[in-house]
């Protein structure tokens, strides 16, 4: 993280006009700090969810290219008497377990997972947008009161 310091001229200019920090000002500064921390967490969560979304889309694209009668290197075809061995089976992760499922079912589950992650990404983006708007409002108010004597650039 890069920190900026005031130049000597700015320091001298600010030093002459000391502004008293009121309780409400300190509350706004503290609120801005909490919002900034929450923003950082949401940005990390958004990156993680976007990566998950990309992974799901990549897997879906690979499965679209798969032939239902052909085995994929990472797939297993368990031998069951009631299952046609020509049916494509793939492993799908549910929690901490892998379950062997036919290709169409895996594609449906991937589609549902992709839709869910899309909704989650949208929700996080909306939260982030609202949070940034609130931070901007606080910045405007605090810069109006303190001018260059406060640094809220993150």
pLDDT of amino acid 79: 36
| Residue 17's pLDDT band (cuts 50, 70, 90) | low
Examine the pLDDT at 69 and tell me if it is beyond 60.
no
CA distance 133 to 100: 46
Examine the pLDDT at 130 and tell me if it is beyond 80.
yes
- pLDDT tens-place string over residues 88-126: 445 556 667 766 777 777 788 888 889 999 999 999 999
- pLDDT tens-place string over residues 22-64: 999 999 999 999 999 999 999 999 999 999 999 888 888 887 7
Judge contact between 109 and 59, C-beta under 8 A: no
CA distance 116 to 142: 39
Could you tell me which residue, 17 or 107, shows the higher pLDDT? 107
The two three-digit tokens of residue 152, written as one number: 């809220």
Residue located via tokens 């640094």? 151
| Mean pLDDT computed over 15-24 | 79
Examine the pLDDT at 14 and tell me if it is beyond 60.
no
pTM, 2 dp: 0.69
User: Which of 68, 49, 70, 73 has its CA nearest to residue 106?
Assistant: 68
Judge contact between 111 and 64, C-beta under 8 A: no
For 13-80, the DSSP string reads HHHHS-----HHHHHHHHHHHHHHHHHHHHHHHHHHHHHHHHHHHHHHHHHHHS-TTSPPTT------
Question: How many angstroms separate the Cα of 127 from the Cα of each of 40, 47, 146?
Answer: 12, 14, 28
Examine the pLDDT at 12 and tell me if it is beyond 50.
yes
pLDDT of amino acid 68: 62
pLDDT of amino acid 94: 64
CA distance 72 to 62: 10
pLDDT of amino acid 80: 35
């Amino acid at each position: 993280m890069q920190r900026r310091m005031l130049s000597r001229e700015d320091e001298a200019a600010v030093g002459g006009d000391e502004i008293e920090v009121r309780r409400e000002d300190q509350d706004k500064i503290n609120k801005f700090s909490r919002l900034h921390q929450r923003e950082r967490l949401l940005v990390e969560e958004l990156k993680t969810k976007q990566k998950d979304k990309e992974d799901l889309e990549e897997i879906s694209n690979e499965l679209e290219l798969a032939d239902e009668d052909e085995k994929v290197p990472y797939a297993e075809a368990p031998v069951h008497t009631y299952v046609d061995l020509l049916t494509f089976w793939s492993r799908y992760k549910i929690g901490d377990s892998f379950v062997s499922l036919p290709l169409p079912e895996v594609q449906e589950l991937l589609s549902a997972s992709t839709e869910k992650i899309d909704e989650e990404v949208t929700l996080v983006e909306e939260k982030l947008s609202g949070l940034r708007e609130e931070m901007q409002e606080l910045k405007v108010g605090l810069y109006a009161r303190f001018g260059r004597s406060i640094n809220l650039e993150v």
